[in-house]
Structure 1
Amino acid sequence: MSRVVTLAHYYTQPEIQQMADKVGDSLELSLFARDAQADIIVFAGVRFMAETAKILNPQATVVLPDRGSTCSLVTQTDVAALQRWREQHADHVHVSYINSSAEHKALSDWIVTSRNVDDIIAHLYAEGKKVIFSPDRNMGAYLNFQHGYDMPLWSAVCEVHDKFNQQALDEAFAAVPGARYLIAHPESPLPVLQLADYVGSTSGMLNWVRNYAYEPDAVIFVATEDGILYNMRLARPDLRIEQAPIYAGCQCNQCPYMKMNTIEAVKRAQQGQGEVIDYLSPAQMDAARLPIERMLAFSERYYR
């Protein structure tokens, strides 16, 4: 009988997370997928995550519940143009965010997640390297601002995080009579990140909420996809946690691709039906695996 392992990202619906063997952020799920003793890996997330699982565990059959679940950072990146851009900066190390296609990863020297991007790029600069960063323009702009880097940046954005804006946040803050905090994902625009009390990955934000010990009646605004609010409220039901607004006070920001992971689609995928990640050639997987393994080796060493 086939052993099926189901992985779910924090941005999926609570019902999907409850069906999973492992729930986590991109780094956690990559490590779990690599080491999973599974015949079938069902990845309730988006396509680049399922591709990463296949690259790291090529013997497993990896199934994406809905073939349409992509990512704007992927769709906004033309790989041929990316290759030309990289060639224009041949003396730079190409660091790519994990939210990228397998073809994109194969053109990279390092892959990073939102949890380890600061440490890996700091490590490269400490070695005297020059860095170009793709595909997320907002994340790269924040790193350049925060650390004084001068990294050339690719110009793609997460369509969910890019909707958060300073004006809506200013209005939301003004409506709170007491204490308020903002925690934000680094895919958000720089003016939003400059307002934040904490900037970090989905796991980092979740841990910030778990460890919160400030004013008990404060409002905590969260600038990321709304799926993580389920985990935050489960961890700290005593806190008032709200998604940051995007316009006119609207707290309605969801990733349409993550929400394609319906209960029915995941159940079908657990039966082997869905989008099987079988289109990557061995050469593509080998080329993409190298920068991912650099990241994983660094992370296992650094975060031990």
Structure 2
Amino acid sequence: MSKKVVTLAHYYCQPEIQQMADKVGDSLELSLYAKECGADTIVFAGVRFMAETAKILNPDAEVILPDAGSTCSLVTQTDVGALKAWREAHPDHVHVSYINSSAEHKALSDWIVTSRNVDDIIASLYADGKKVIFSPDRNMGAYLNFQYDYGMPLWSAVCEVHDKFNQSALDEAFASVAGAKYLIAHPESPLPVLQQADYVGSTSGMLNWVKSFDKEADAVIFVATEDGILYNMGLARPDLDIRQAPIYAGCQCNSCPYMKMNTIEAVKRAQAGVGTRIDYLSPEAVDAARLPIERMLEFSKRYYA
């Protein structure tokens, strides 16, 4: 009996990689898809923490990452020992962690959140009288503190791609457009950028915002996130003028170097069984990391039903 091999690609991968995939989407969406379709082997064209999440949710499947170097600055900027000490220094707080984190990080968390459900989950915790510490994304946490005045202690890591967006470059870009202009942004961007945005949300949320755009036909839409999603936005709405937000004057060129390690050759090798296997997580580590994810999934099932 042949094994079912499923290739997953994140929106931030290059278009030719997306075209090789069985499913394109956000990281959690992809891992859940693999579970639903009963994949025996998962080739995950993304970054390592995404492949780890796929293994956590599909422990019996073989998970292969095309390139061993495809990591994430939110992971590399987080020392797990220091994180453990930080959590222990706040014993009366609930530790909420963004899904863009390592398996070890997840295992030290009480809740995992995505950029789609983070507002609702943290609001629910505060409504229940809890106090929260948030990791690893400092920018996302700062935006939540700004919006809701939580005063949450924050971990200090950032996404090196989103952190490059800045208000002065945006001001210049906006000034160069005579007509209507809009900014949509991922919450991993710095607070001044998010304060200027017409919409802040997940990658899928931004894509859906573009799909449903029904305002000025000649408007310019600036997008503050990794450039891979502009391919999907262009496919969905070729009639719109969609541009990546600049990171400095004149530059609309902000790519994740780790996502771009998923080359055609690397993905083909992974599909043939050659790549980095996510086989180093112990059953205990997988179970510990799965628990806060399951809390999130159960919350979402109830809250968004």
TM-score bucket of the superposed structures, by smaller chain: over 0.9
- Residues 303 and 19 of structure 1: is their aligned pair in 2 closer, same or farther, counting only changes over 3 Å? farther
Question: Equivalent residues in 2 for 1:78-117 (5 A)?
Answer: 78-117=79-118
Aligned residue for 1:173?
174
Contact persistence 2:28–2:53 (CA under 8 A): no
Contact persistence 1:35–1:57 (CA under 8 A): no
What is the rounded CA distance, in whole Å, between the counterparts of 1:133 and 1:166 in structure 2? 24
SS at 2:30's partner residue? Answer: helix
SS at 1:143's partner residue? Answer: helix
Q: For residues 20-66 of structure 1, what are the alpha-carbon distances to aligned partners after superposition, in whole Å with 9 as ceiling and x for unaligned?
A: 11111123123213333111000000000000000111100000000
What is the rounded CA distance, in whole Å, between the counterparts of 1:80 and 1:35 in structure 2? 35
Letter in 2 for 1:58: P
SS at 2:35's partner residue? Answer: helix
Aligned residue for 1:50?
51
SS at 1:114's partner residue? Answer: coil
Contact persistence 1:132–1:153 (CA under 8 A): yes
Contact persistence 1:26–1:113 (CA under 8 A): no
Contact persistence 1:31–1:296 (CA under 8 A): no
Letter in 2 for 1:209: V
Instruction: Please say if 1:252 is aligned against 2:253.
Output: yes
Letter in 1 for 2:271: Q
Aligned residue for 2:283?
282
Contact persistence 2:185–2:194 (CA under 8 A): yes
Aligned residue for 1:120?
121
Contact persistence 2:173–2:249 (CA under 8 A): no
- Residues 39 and 30 of structure 1: is their aligned pair in 2 closer, same or farther, counting only changes over 3 Å? closer
Q: List gaps (5 residues or longer) in structure 1.
A: none
Instruction: Please say if 1:208 is aligned against 2:209.
Output: yes
Shifted more, 25-34 versus 153-162: the winner is: 25-34
What is the rounded CA distance, in whole Å, between the counterparts of 1:216 and 1:150 in structure 2? 41
Aligned residue for 1:271?
272
Aligned residue for 2:162?
161
What is the rounded CA distance, in whole Å, between the counterparts of 1:235 and 1:116 in structure 2? 24
SS at 1:19's partner residue? Answer: coil
Letter in 2 for 1:99: N
Q: Normalized against structure 1, the TM-score is what?
A: 0.99
Contact persistence 1:9–1:24 (CA under 8 A): yes
What is the rounded CA distance, in whole Å, between the counterparts of 1:154 and 1:27 in structure 2? 22
Aligned residue for 1:234?
235
Displacement of 1:159 in angstroms is 0.1
Contact persistence 2:10–2:24 (CA under 8 A): yes
What is the rounded CA distance, in whole Å, between the counterparts of 1:286 and 1:295 in structure 2? 15
Instruction: Please say if 1:70 is aligned against 2:71.
Output: yes
Letter in 2 for 1:86: R
% identical aligned pairs: 84
Letter in 1 for 2:108: L
What is the rounded CA distance, in whole Å, between the counterparts of 1:237 and 1:92 in structure 2? 47
SS at 1:100's partner residue? Answer: coil
What is the rounded CA distance, in whole Å, between the counterparts of 2:186 and 2:100 in structure 1? 14
Instruction: Please say if 1:37 is aligned against 2:38.
Output: yes
What is the rounded CA distance, in whole Å, between the counterparts of 1:299 and 1:63 in structure 2? 28
Contact persistence 1:27–1:115 (CA under 8 A): no
Displacement of 1:300 in angstroms is 2.6
What is the rounded CA distance, in whole Å, between the counterparts of 1:184 and 1:15 in structure 2? 24
RMSD in angstroms over aligned alpha carbons? 0.8
What is the rounded CA distance, in whole Å, between the counterparts of 1:210 and 1:293 in structure 2? 30
After the TM superposition, list the runs of 4 or more consecutive aligned residues in structure 1 that deviate by more than 4 angstroms. none
Letter in 1 for 2:177: V
What is the rounded CA distance, in whole Å, between the counterparts of 1:34 and 1:62 in structure 2? 12
Contact persistence 1:4–1:270 (CA under 8 A): yes
Contact persistence 2:46–2:259 (CA under 8 A): yes
Q: List gaps (5 residues or longer) in structure 2.
A: none
Aligned residue for 1:17?
18
Letter in 2 for 1:279: Y
